[in-house]
Amino acid sequence: MDYVSALVPPVVMAVFFSGLIVTIVKTQGGANKAKEDAAADAAISRAEALRQAPKTGGA
């Protein structure tokens, strides 16, 4: 029975990993794609604006 206890963790991890991959593939594109792209573009724009803002530090 030691072989069963040795095989259970890899099998469980493989099942969960497969479920994760299926979930990722299913959520790509679709109705949420435009919303996700807009959120990512907004975050990038904010980061670039902060990076390019003039530094006004006190002495």
Confidence category of residue 55, pLDDT binned at 50, 70, 90:
low
- Cβ atoms within 10 Å of 36's Cβ, excluding its own: 13
DSSP notation for 14-42: HHHHHHHHHHHHHHSSGGGHHHHHHHHHH
pLDDT tens-digit series, residues 28-46: 777 777 787 888 999 999 9
Cα distance between residue 16 and residue 10, in whole Å: 10
More confident residue, 12 or 25: 12
